[in-house]
Structure 1
Amino acid sequence: MKQVTILRQAIEQNPHSSEAYYNLGSAMSDEGLWSEAADMFRQAIKLNPHNPKFYNKLGIVLENANMLSQAAELFGWAIKLRPDYIEALNNISTVLIRTNRFKEAEEYLRCALEINPRYAKAYNNLGMVLENMNRRVEALGCFRQAIALEPNNSVFYTNVGKMLKEFRQLNEAEVCIQQALALRPDSVNANLALATLYLLQEQYEKGWEKYDDWRLVRDGNRHLPIPQWQGEDLTGRRILLFADQGFGDTIHFIRYALMVAKLASETNLLIPKPLRRLLVFSLTNCKICNSDRIDARDYDFISPLLSLPHRFNTSRETIPQATPYLHPSRAIVETWSKTLDKIDSGKKYRIGVVWAGNPAHVNDRNRSIPFDVFSSLFDISKVSWISLQKGKRVTDLATTSNKVIDISGALVDFAETAGVIANLDLVITVDSAVAHLAGSMGQKTWLLLPYNPDWRWQLDREDSPWYPTLRLFRQHEIDTWAEVLAKVRKSVEELLGELLGDHS
């Protein structure tokens, strides 16, 4: 802050100096004073609208504030003023990556590298672009080139390690991530990458602690100033458990709330609204809370749900496998039974389907399936195909001529989805919250997984230690969904043949 004070004095002495405002803005940025820094850069631009570095710096500040469209516009102005401004070319690419405009990002990065072929950060960003465009071999080459140019950058080693993990070169991936940590032991991304690598291989003793600790560093305690539960005796104590990740993770790890409830005098759950009704039906020994009614004085401890496997020292042998642990409302189940009977008279084998997960998920490009591939199932007769799909991908149904029952408008929360699932014979889904919901209900579920799966599904096995009723269908090569769907189709036909005496 001393530097900020000195630079304020410089402006008082020369209030018309654009450089003085730029220098003060830069110092404020270093102190994390983003709003004040933005004001200084705007004043610098006002005094001298022809200096590209002012626009570039303001763009960086706005990107940090998640004002991405404005940031891209400012980087664009910097480039117009100076077409060979490689830092601005690289910076606009980071915004375009964050907004999934990968082709545009590639063009800017290729331009930067043409100007300076030794610009390591541009190679790293180009690797990220190519990875998201499923050009993985090229991406790995770019990450390696970044290391060759800047061998002491921890981020580059982490990215190589993650890419090697996608190629199932797990030993080499661990070596790279360990190198990243040797360069920067406090790297959150590298520590989490190593933790998930351990969990993927069922090395739970090594994985849980690192995963728990570094996830909390990344996310922080986003709730009240209540002591974090570290495994202390809960006799006579009140604890607040909260969902710290997405719906699928919450459903997956809510099983541990049942274990906590056996130890504490009162177990409270702070859960996103779409899950509350279902959990009220299911977890009768827990209290579901509203965030606007939480008082820190009411609780002795707090814990995120994803910390609980670590707190209970979960190993391969002690994974809590008992299902079902989530139960739909009988009234909702009966309502959906009547609704579906009106459609198929209860005479067809009912299969619920989900072909796409949350588009905001970091691995959605791998785990969601193109509809033209998935829809190859829908011409199998003797099946009532019932879409459990939510979100924008529901519109995919308009592209198939086969009959698929669309009930998306009625799936207002997970209690309704659970009521539908209870009336199905089978659920076929990508890695999504529905997979966890069906598994937690003990329903027969076929889960379709990419070559590089989420850590909880491990590698190669066709079953899941977390959900006994799941059968896993895996890609054996990257981007080979057609092969997976062919196997699923054959399995559906075999199942119908066994149950209905039909092979069509």
Structure 2
Amino acid sequence: MNSEIVNSDDLFTQAVTFHQQGMFDKAQSCYQQVLLQNPDHLSSWINLGVLNRRNKRYSTSLLCYQRALALKADDAGILSNMANVLKDSDRVEEAIHYAQKAVDIEPENVTFRHNLAIALREDKQFELSLQELNTCLSIQPDNPNLQWDRSLVLLMMQKFSEGFLAFEARWKTGDLPQPNVPSHCKRWKGQPFKGEKLLLLTEQGFGDTIFCIRYIHLVCQLGGEVILECKSPLKRLFSNLPVTLLSFEAARDGIDWYCPMMSLPGLFLGQEPPPPKLYIPKSITIQLSERLASERGNLQVGIIWSGSVTYGDNDKRSISLSSLLPIFESLPEVRFYSLQKGPKEHELRESGLQVLIPDFGSELDDFAETAALLKRLDLLVMTDSACVHLAGSINTPIINLLQYKPGWVYFPESYTSRWYPSMRILRQQTSGDWEPVLVQLQFLLSELAKSKHINLQHTDVLNILDKFETRSTSA
């Protein structure tokens, strides 16, 4: 920072410049220096709150907004920002309170009402959230972010016809890259395409693609050649499907139609086909095979505690490996194996648990190999991410640990899943509170361990889990 900048006004101007340029550490330093000179500088407290929220320092952000409110108690913008931080901190009831206060002060402000709608959605008050979003859209009918958030609420309410129509707004928010197709290529709307070529586009995560692949046979019945854009970790898994697999880098010449994968559920409303038969290798690596065979007399459980860290809500849907330690300690007769991939693998190394919890994830090169391993385990325990959809698609028993407000596929709330017969669900009953979920998980694993025998089948696992459905749904 320039040493000539000494007064608070110049410091604040420099801080805002850094902030706008994405130089957040320098911006924070300048805001702090402003406040050392002038503790009553309202805008610096507000902007520090914004920066700390961005860096997920929610408690610090909240303190900044509290100082700002002490200076201007009836500022709707501060109240609304404070509501957002409280929502991020899993304090949704308080978030709704402050968001409502902001709306009461400025009822025509769409941003504040939008924030209230999101807080209500996080508390699963879907009817009220929808009302607020409809009010916002009456003021700004062409706002794609409002349309997108409204679609999610509608889907969670199981209003699929209206919800999937609104779901197309995702292409207007700017959060997704535009479809990579030739300029002459037309958007497919579900009509027959005999003698033509249809390209299905991957648009979101691996889990979304695995979930939507269930519609592939319905699509193929209407055409023509079906070409599936496919990331390399999924290619072998999908290799026996009646489609042509296309890499992201490949040319797209000769394509007549295109359709994003996540639009397929809306095109086939009322049809919920089971997952197709996926390619599963007959063998796994010798090392993995020998390890599993040597412990076949024990209950064998795969664990994944985090999804992709690039997913915006990953902190809410994931747990830490350390939170599972009481379960490991209480069940020494159970053999746990880590299938964790990505940055969160480091938690296993840092915990020193690699000998007790073997790192199988680092030995799995793609989803086909993962599927082969899953078929050999008794059970998969994980928080919601791609392997939930994989295990469900190949009928491996899953205990899915779900956050308080998960995605739309997990509504209406139940112990089982309409999409995956082998899935059993343990849900947070309070936002952010995993402890009761993990207590229930420990109980279920202990019951399975008591029943373990060398010929335990996947159907046996599910039958045992189903004995405790009432206990699980009331945890």
Q: Which amino acid aligns with 2:258?
A: I
Alignment of 1:102-181 (within 5 A): 102-181=58-137
1:384 aligns with 2:335: yes
Equivalent pair of 1:140/1:160 in contact (CA under 8 Å): yes
**1:216 is the counterpart of 2:216:** no
Report how far residue 157 of structure 1 moved.
Answer: 1.8
Q: Which moved more, 1:239-248 or 1:494-503?
A: 494-503
Contact 1:350 1:424 in 2 (8 A): yes
| Separation of aligned partners in 2, 1:229 and 1:98 | 39
Q: Which residue of 2 aligns with 1:261?
A: 220
Q: In structure 1, what is the Cα distance between the partners aligned to 2:72 and 2:243?
A: 60
Distance 1:162 1:263, change over 3 A: same
Whether the aligned pair in 2 keeps the contact of 1:248 and 1:433 (CA below 8 Å) is yes
* Distance (Å, rounded) in 1 between the aligned partners of 2:137 and 2:96: 19
The structure-2 alpha-carbon separation of the partners of 1:119 and 1:274, relative to structure 1 and needing over 3 Å to count, comes to farther
After alignment, is 390-399 or 424-433 more displaced?
A: 390-399
Change beyond 3 A, Cα 1:72–1:360: farther
In structure 2, the residue corresponding to 1:466 is in which secondary structure?
coil
Opposite residue 303 of structure 1, the aligned amino acid is C
Tell which deviates more after alignment, 198-207 or 371-380.
371-380
2: distance between equivalents of 1:461 and 1:95? 38
Aligned counterpart, 1:354: 304
1:375 to 325, 333, 349: 325
1:287-321 Cα offsets, whole Å, 9 max, x none, are 222222223x3211122110111122x23xx212x
Moved more, 53-62 or 367-376: 53-62
Name the aligned partner's letter for residue 229 of structure 1.
Answer: W
One-letter code aligned to 1:108: C
Cα distance in structure 2, aligned partners of 1:437 and 1:350: 18
**Within 5 A, what are the aligned runs for 1:488-499?**
488-499=441-452
TM-score, normalization by structure 2? 0.83
User: What residue number does 1:294 align with?
Assistant: 251
* Structure 1: gaps (5+ residues): 1-41
**Pairs aligned (count):** 446
Asked if 1:482 is matched to 2:438, the reply is no
* Alignment partner, residue 14 of structure 1: none
Cα distance in 1 between the residues matched to 2:235 and 2:28: 39
* Contact 2:158–2:412 (CA under 8 A) maintained in structure 1: no
Task: Work out the CA distance in 2 between the residues paired with 1:363 and 1:476.
Answer: 18
SS of aligned partner of 2:195: coil
- 1:434, 1:190 → 2: CA distance? 31
CA distance in 2, matches of 1:57, 1:200: 39
Within the candidate set 403, 419, 422, 1:469 is matched to 422
Q: Is this contact kept in 1: 2:301–2:380, CA < 8 A? A: yes
Post-superposition offset of 1:260: 2.0
8 A Cα contact 1:229 1:303, kept in partner: yes
- Measure, in 2, the Cα distance between the counterparts of 1:358 and 1:443: 21
Indicate the structure with greater helix content.
Answer: 1
Q: Structure 1, residues 253-300: CA drift from partner, whole Å, max 9, x if none? A: 1222333233232222223333233323x42x22222222223x3211
Distance in 2 between residues matched to 1:462 and 1:261, nearest whole Å: 33
Is residue 324–residue 442 contact of structure 1 (8 Å, CA) maintained in 2?
Answer: no
TM-fit CA distance, 1:50: 6.7
Residue-by-residue CA offset, 1:199-219 (whole Å, 9 max, x unaligned): 1222212211111x2112123
Paired AA for residue 216 in structure 1 = W
Q: Which aligned pairs between 1:17-416 and structure 2 lie closer than 5 A?
A: 51=10, 54-55=13-14, 58-59=17-18, 61-63=20-22, 68-69=24-25, 72=28, 86-211=42-167, 213-218=168-173, 219=176, 221-224=178-181, 225=183, 226-280=185-239, 282-283=240-241, 285-295=242-252, 297-312=253-268, 314-315=269-270, 318-320=271-273, 322-323=274-275, 325-331=277-283, 333=284, 335=286, 338-341=289-292, 343-344=294-295, 346-378=296-328, 379-397=330-348, 398-399=350-351, 403-416=356-369
Percent identical: 26
C-alpha distance 81-308 of structure 1, shift in aligned 2 (>3 A): farther
CA 108–480 in structure 1, closer or farther in 2 if over 3 Å, else same: closer
Aligned equivalents of 1:252, 1:81: Cα separation in 2: 55
Instruction: Give me the whole-angstrom Cα distance separating, in 1, the residues matched to 2:196 and 2:426.
Output: 44
Q: Is the CA contact (8 Å cut-off) linking 2:87 and 2:122 kept in structure 1?
A: no
Please, what is the CA RMSD of the aligned residues? 3.2
Return the TM-score normalized by structure 1: 0.79
> How far apart, in 1, do the equivalents of 2:143 and 2:15 lie?
26
